[in-house]
Structure formats: structure tokens, C-alpha cells
Amino acid sequence: MSKLARKPIAIPKGVEVEVSGQEITVKGSKGKLSWRVHDLVEIVVEDGAVRVRPKTVSKEGKMQTGTTWALIRNMVTGVSEGFERRLLLVGVGYRAQLQGKKLVLALGYSHPVEYPIPEDIQIEVPSATEIVVRGIDKQRVGQVAAEIRALRPPEPYKGKGIRYADEEVLRKETKKK
């Protein structure tokens, strides 16, 4: 079993965790998340903490315990603090702006690219070359950020494109004569 899964997940103030059968629901100040846990895993809420343990001692039960622990920890963090991903637009004329429920991007194509914003995600544009994706579900935040990045991934020669704020693009050398 994973060493992290042996540790209890502390429940911060203002967060409620309910377990009914294999369904776990986490409510907090930012929202509510539900998830159905694998049948080989048992969840116990006691003393202001969530404990995850395998129902049977099997290889798959141990694997699912570590995964379940990480997902529940992300749910608790999401409803209390939330998650965010920052994207940077690098390139001459690359811009982003919000128009209602759409993110409109000028990415060097002959037309503006429109990205519809999902209901459970908030997108901010603090400057014309920066995008902030926020939400309570870590997987959804990462997925939306990846979809936006895929509209124009960074290229290796000049580094132009959409990149994560903490991403380093490996640069290639151009052809020599």
C-alpha cells in the first residue's frame, strides 16, 4: 500500500465529508464534489480526518487505496481552497480577452479562436497575454488548461504559442548554412 495512503486526510474547518456506501461527498465554501469510490476500498471518517484502507489484502486493493487517497485529498483541497492554472501567450500579436461566456484568442491564425468556457470553471484574463483557469475540481482545471494550450502549443524554434506559466520550452537551434 502507498505510504501516503496510510496517513489520514485532515478535514479543514468549513468542510463536510459524508460517506454513504461507496459514494463520498465533500462540501465546502467553494462548492460540492461527489465521487463513487472503487469497491475494493473502504473509507472511514473519524476524529476530523478521513482514513482510506483496502477492504481486502490484494495487489489491486492496495493500488486503488493510494489512488483513492489522492483523489479525496484533491476533493478536500478543491472545495476549501480551489485550484488554478496560469497560461502565458508568447508571440507578437497573441492576445486573449473574455467576451461573455467565451474566451477569444488571437493566435496568429487568419481568424480569432473562440473557446466556450465550461459552467464549472472560471477563467480570468488579468492581462492580454495571461490566462488564469480556476475551479474546485483539479482534473477539470487541468483538462481545460490543456485544451486551451492545445489551440497553439509552444513551438521549439522561437518559443511562440500558449504555455503554462511554470513550463520551460526546450529551444532548438535553426539550420546552419
Q: Which CATH architecture has domain 4-80?
A: Alpha-Beta Complex (3.90)
Instruction: Render pLDDT for 146-157 as a digit per residue (tens, 0 to 9).
Output: 999 999 999 999
Which H or E element spans position 29?
A: none
From-to residues of CATH 3.90.930.12 in the chain: 4-80, 83-164
Per-residue pLDDT at 104 exceeds 80 = yes
Check if CATH label 3.90.930.12 holds for domain 83-164: yes
Residue 4: the pLDDT is 83
Please check whether residue 16 is in contact with residue 27, taking contact to mean a CB–CB distance below 8 angstroms: yes
Is the pTM above the cut of 0.85? yes
